[in-house]
Amino acid sequence: MADTKKFLYVNRKAPYGTIYALESLEVVLIGAAFEQDVSLAFLDDGVFQLTKGQKTDGIGMKNFSATFRALGDYDVNKFYVEKESLEERGLTEADLQEITYEDENDDWAEKPSIRFVTRAEMADIMSEQDVVLSF
Amino acid sequence: MSTLHMVNKSPFETGTLSSCLKHCKAGDAVLLIEDGVYGAIDGSSISDQVKATVGDVALYVLDGDVSARGIDAGKMVSGTKSVGYDGFVDLVAEHDRTMSWL
Amino acid sequence: MKIGVVVNEGPYTHQAADSAYRFVKAALEKGHEVSRVFFYHDGVNVATRLTIPPQDERHIQKNWSALATEHGVDLVVCIAAAQRRGILDANEANRQGKDADNLAEGFRISGLGQLIEMGVQTDRLVVFGD
């Protein structure tokens, strides 16, 4: 499609303390209908958005962490997570929830959506985009 | 193919400028606006990192934000270029994409 | 060149709406086309016509409204973000059974699709926020 552009959604903020992470996710969900080449970048405090075991009963807010797992159904399956950002925050890959998608080009095999990348690789990914949206 | 990075936070309040500098590639430009302009002050706790990046990466400050905050041009990291809003527009047009480090 | 702009913060507390306004004016003066400005997050608060800043201060909403009437800039307020924060046009107030509306002249309320469409259709996208 001639109008397809590479969109990168940059997530650098933690969830709940501010609304940015939630409203950013709402853009990704709507944007999925536009059939663009979408990637999500999680770096700095943005990596906290993907941790497992979030329970929001005690703060009276909607737990939106499960919504990330639904994005694969909308062909949003490139989640780039920066390794250095995890390490700086005392996290490992095992602290993040598992997010998968079914690869239509590989007999619908279930594959991980999260790809762990170095800071240098993240810089490369940013430099390959047409549109960078940050919130 | 190059990116214009925009930073609007003081580096003494958040790690945004530091993170931005670590993701710049040769040929990119960093434009400091709003409280971000404090990041161009030489002799600060972050100026070594700024100076290590500047050269391969061009550093700009928005002059209205610099003057509003009373920052002396002579106190800024050597090589810092000052632009007005018209220069800001040119930078956006000259680079392939703009990335705001919010 | 076609330029799109996103404003993510409300007036007065953050400088974002001021910076974006000056950027858009400069872009228009240089002959670029600013096809749309999209207001998201607290940025939707720029669009209330009920603000009354002191007389010796800039009127952020009126500045933006003037850009729409004088230069035809399309000022779009995200409906989801606007409803959370109580920004309504007359139609929406009526539909939701509210007794008042507050959307200023020159702004229109629409969906997030307008943001994505702006990204697709413009040559450059510039985001102002906090």
Q: Indicate whether this complex's ipTM tops 0.90.
A: yes
Rounded Cα gap, residues B59 and B29, in angstroms: 6
Write the pLDDT tens digit of every residue in B28-39.
999 999 999 999
| pTM exceeds cut of 0.80 | yes
SS (H, E, C) chain A: CCCCCEEEEEECCCCCCCCHHHHHHHHHHHHHHHCCEEEEEECHHHHHHHECCCCCHHHCCCCCCCHHHHHHHHCCCCEEEEHHHHHHCCCCHHHECCCEEEEHHHCCEEEECEEEECHHHHHHHHCCCCEEEEC
Q: pLDDT class for C39, splitting at 50, 70, 90? A: very high
CA distances A55 to A16, A61, A98, B79, Å, are 11, 9, 16, 49
Range of the domain at C72: 2-128
Q: pLDDT class for B1, splitting at 50, 70, 90? A: confident
pLDDT value at B44 more than 60? yes
Could you tell me what percent of chain B has a pLDDT over 90?
97
Task: Using alpha carbons, select from C33, A44, C44 the residue that is nearest to residue B92.
Answer: C33
Write the pLDDT tens digit of every residue in B81-99.
999 999 999 999 999 999 9
Question: Domains along chain B?
Answer: 3-101 (3.40.1260.10)
- Which residues of chain C from 16 to 45 reach within 8 Å of chain A, CB to CB? 40-41
Put simply, whether C72 touches A (Cβ < 8 Å) is: no
Mean pLDDT of the region B41-58: 96
CATH number at residue C114: 3.40.1260.10
Count of domains for chain C: 1
pLDDT value at B43 more than 90? yes
Question: Domains along chain A?
Answer: 6-134 (3.40.1260.10)
Write the pLDDT tens digit of every residue in A53-98.
999 999 999 999 999 999 999 999 999 999 999 999 999 999 999 9
pLDDT reported for residue A2: 56
Q: Which of C78, C79, C82, C87 is catalytic?
A: C78
Rounded Cα gap, residues C90 and A96, in angstroms: 44
Put simply, whether B23 touches A (Cβ < 8 Å) is: yes
pLDDT reported for residue A3: 72
Residue pointed to by tokens 């302009």: B37
From the list A26, A34, A133, the residue facing C80 with the nearest CB is A26
Put simply, whether B97 touches C (Cβ < 8 Å) is: yes
DSSP B36: G
Give exposure, B2-21, as e/b (b: 16+ Cβ within 10 Å): bbbbbbbbbbeebebbbbbb
pLDDT value at B48 more than 70? yes
Residue ranges with strand state E in chain C: 2-7, 33-39, 74-78, 107-110, 124-128
Binary contact (C26, B64; C-beta < 8 A)? no
Catalytic-residue membership of C113: no
- Chain B partners within 8 Å of A127 (Cβ): 1-3, 25, 28
> From the CA of A43, how many Å to the nearest CA of chain C?
17
- Chain A partners within 8 Å of C80 (Cβ): 23, 26
Write the pLDDT tens digit of every residue in C6-26.
999 999 999 999 999 999 999
